[in-house]
């Protein structure tokens, strides 16, 4: 079989509740020769567990403030709950799959934003792609968490969009798709929401600078910009139900580099 390309899909938000439909089209693409890496976050589930345990989720520019208790919850949800569910769904779809703990591939350092201490929040400084490449050679679909570790063995929570960015660049993927809870990058104009179908990286930078995007969309757009600047050919931000519509660029926001 001719190998047609490597696709990295960051799954999160309500994508996790519609994986069976989502994976049916991925299986079709896999059988055509495309290879897949799935990186998952789990913000909604983490928030839910934090609230159940009496903790209040707090964020700075889309990044979760992560103290010691929050880190334990993040690890429990990502590695102990969500990854198992994703792997189970991939197997049900009839695909070979193997899960990795992000701490085995993401080397981190502590992330500081605007001189604010976010706690155990990491910034990826290096990615060990060899385990993933070996698995892809055997045609496994690889599922990984957005966790990392520094040189001294301290664990960190990594924003899943930022982790996908680092992994996409390191693997030199052909296509990076951020799946989210919104249909794409949305602008409010004349009291109406408008989804932007295409967005150059220059336009994306302007939206961030002018504070026209908020919360979790900031790290998504920042990651899309850096990915394109570092050689990823196609980046999409998408939040639909039918993955074929994202694949055919009928939905979502395409981020591109202007000629």
Q: Which residues are annotated as a binding site for substrate?
A: 42-43, 64, 157
Answer yes or no: are the C-beta atoms of 101 and 39 closer than 8 Å.
Answer: no
Binding residues: 42-43, 64, 157
Q: C-alpha distances in angstroms, 35 versus 141, 146, 198?
A: 7, 20, 25
SS3 sequence of the chain:
CCCCEEEEEEECHHHHHCHHHHHHHHHHHHHHCEEEEEEECCHHHHHHHHHHCCCCCCEECCEECECHHHHHHHHHHHHHHHHHHHHHHHHHCCCCEEEECHHHCEEEEEEEECCEEEEEEEEEEEECCHHHHHHHHCCCEEEEECEEECCCCCEEECCHHHHHHHHHHHHCCCEEEEECCCCCCEEEECCEEEECCEEEHHHHHHHHHCCCCCCCHHHHHHHHHHHHHCCCCEEEEECCCCHHHHHCCCCCEEEECCC
């Amino acid at each position: 079989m001719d190998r047609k390309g490597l696709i990295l899909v960051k799954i999160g938000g309500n994508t996790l509740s519609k994986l069976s439909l989502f994976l049916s089209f991925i299986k079709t693409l896999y059988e055509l020769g495309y290879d897949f890496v799935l990186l998952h976050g789990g913000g909604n589930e983490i928030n839910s567990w934090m609230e159940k345990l009496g903790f209040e989720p707090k964020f700075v520019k889309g990044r979760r403030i992560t103290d010691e208790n929050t880190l334990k919850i993040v690890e429990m949800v990502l590695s102990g709950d969500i990854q198992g569910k994703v792997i189970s769904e991939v197997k049900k779809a009839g695909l070979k799959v193997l899960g990795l703990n992000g701490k085995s591939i993401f080397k981190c350092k502590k992330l500081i934003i605007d001189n604010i201490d976010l706690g155990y929040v990491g910034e990826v400084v290096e990615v060990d792609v060899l385990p993933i490449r070996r698995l892809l050679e055997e045609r496994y679909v690889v599922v990984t968490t957005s966790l990392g570790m520094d040189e001294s063995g301290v664990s960190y929570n990594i924003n899943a969009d930022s982790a996908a960015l680092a992994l996409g660049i390191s693997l030199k993927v052909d296509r990076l798709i951020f799946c989210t809870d919104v249909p794409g990058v949305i602008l409010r104009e004349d009291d109406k929401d408008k989804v932007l179908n295409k967005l150059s990286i220059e336009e994306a930078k302007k939206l961030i600078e002018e504070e026209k995007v908020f919360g979790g969309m900031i790290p998504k757009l920042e990651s899309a910009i850096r990915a394109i600047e570092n050689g990823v050919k196609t980046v999409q931000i998408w939040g639909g139900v039918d993955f074929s519509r994202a694949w055919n660029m009928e939905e979502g926001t395409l981020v591109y580099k202007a000629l």
